[in-house]
Amino acid sequence: MKLNLALVKGDGIGPEIVDSTLRVLDKVAEKYGHQITCTELLAGGCAIDELGEPLPQATVDRCLESDSVLLGAVGGPKWDTLPGHLRPERALLGLRKALGLYANIRPAKLYPALRGRCPLRIEDTFDLVIVRELTGGIYFGERGRREGPNGQEAYDTECYSVMEIERIGRVAFETARKRRKKVTSIDKANVLESSRLWRETMHRLAAEYPDVEYSDMLVDNAAMQLVRNPAQFDVIVTSNMFGDILSDEASQLTGSIGMLPSASLGEGSRGMYEPIHGSAPDIAGRGIANPTATILSAAMMLRYSFGLAAEADAIEDAVNKALEAGYMTCDIGGQLTTDEMTDKILGFI
């Protein structure tokens, strides 16, 4: 199979972890007889520095021509004083919108080898997936500033349509069917009208999936339950803002944010795959970043965009074996450099 990939290495540690991931993809391509073509593109802070904007149109066009996009990380303190429309993070929102990516899939898994790194006292591991709606809600609603009775005030509007809720719900239910067949929908229906529509729509959708266990949970309770007993969850589905917050909470339960991949998907096979961590400018260029989350993101890409389950399994199994053998970077209690960790994972493929 020929894989035509767009590479957005981005800022900070982005280039380092993407380069490590390409080594893994090249090894898998060689073993399984695939051909990978990569085009490196600018987005984020590096694009601002070179071209004066976070997301050049040429990058968008090339991503639309690719089979999938692999992204490192964008942003950093260097660009924090820029106005909102010029911030590096606008590149992520712009790419998601241009590619029609409305579903963010974020696994959170505690590997047995990392149980001691979990900040909780739990007797078992856990393996959950958060399905986050990505292109609606308060991040994309009407916003602005105005004069109010007490002076200037700001507003951001949460708005969801039935269509948006249904399509993200179907992603969650279909994902659950391939796992442990359990969906928990997170909302704030006791307060928000948008959440009441969310819950009503999810209930109608759940009737179409009688083989999947379904339940509702208020977001404040969900935040507590993730700490109390994360193993109770299989697939969590929720809105853009709630998913943003809860997925970061879940990431900390795994021992390191450097372990967690993500996939952003739309209607077709094209997706954008990236680690959920940031650009970590404080360690950029030191060769100590954990490449595992990006490598696992590439495994998700092979599985979701190309249907290459055996190849994805090979990468995920190699990561697990490397951890079980005690090979770790400093963020998870080890001493290996980025390149050394990559070498160990390659050795198990």
Whether the predicted pLDDT of 122 surpasses 90: no
Let me know if residue 110 belongs to a domain: no
The reply to whether 258 falls in a domain is no
Residue 180 in contact with residue 213, Cβ under 8 Å? Answer: no
- pLDDT at residue number 85: 80
Domain count, the chain: 2
Residues 140 and 227 both lie in one domain:
yes
Same domain for 277 and 247, yes or no, is no
Of 190, 225, 253, the one marking the end of a domain is 253
CA atoms of 71 and 10, how far apart (whole Å): 7
Tell me, yes or no, whether 14 and 134 share the same domain: no
Q: What's the confidence (pLDDT) of residue 143?
A: 92
Q: Would you say residue 214 has pLDDT above 90?
A: yes
Alpha-carbon span 18 to 24, nearest angstrom: 10
Most confident range, picked from 97-111, 205-219, 246-260: 205-219
What is the span of the domain harbouring residue 247? 119-253
Provide the annotated active-site residues.
139, 188, 220, 244, 248
And the tokens for 257? Answer: 């944010």
> Side chain identity at 174, as an amino acid letter?
E
pLDDT digits (tens, 9 = 90+) for 260-316: 999 999 988 999 999 999 999 999 999 999 999 999 999 999 999 999 999 999 999
| Mean pLDDT for the stretch of residues 47-58 | 96
Q: How many CB atoms lie within 10 A of CB 68?
A: 24
**pLDDT value at residue 243:** 96
* Confidence at residue 83, expressed as pLDDT on a 0 to 100 scale: 86
Final residue of a domain: which of 210, 225, 253? Answer: 253
Across residues 21-44, what is the average pLDDT?
Answer: 97
Q: Is the dihedral of CA 316, 117, 17, 130 positive or negative?
A: positive
Q: How far apart are CA 124 and CA 25, in angstroms?
A: 32
Q: What is the mean pLDDT of the chain?
A: 95
Q: What is the pLDDT of residues 328-341, one digit of tens each?
A: 999 999 999 999 99
- pLDDT (tens digit per residue) in 252-269: 898 888 899 999 999 889
Residue 217: closest CA among 181, 184, 175, 251: 184
- The answer to the question of residue 318 being in a domain is yes
Q: Do both 243 and 303 map to the same domain?
A: no
Is residue 108 one of the residues assigned to a domain? Answer: no
DSSP alpha helix (H) spans, the chain = 14-32, 45-51, 57-65, 90-99, 162-177, 193-206, 219-228, 240-252, 292-304, 309-324, 338-347
Confirm whether 111 is domain-assigned.
Answer: no
Domain-ending residue, one of 189, 223, 253: 253
Confidence of residue 140 (pLDDT cuts 50, 70, 90): confident
End-to-end CA distance of the chain: 19
What CATH number is given to the structural domain containing 338? 3.40.718.10
pLDDT at 27: 98
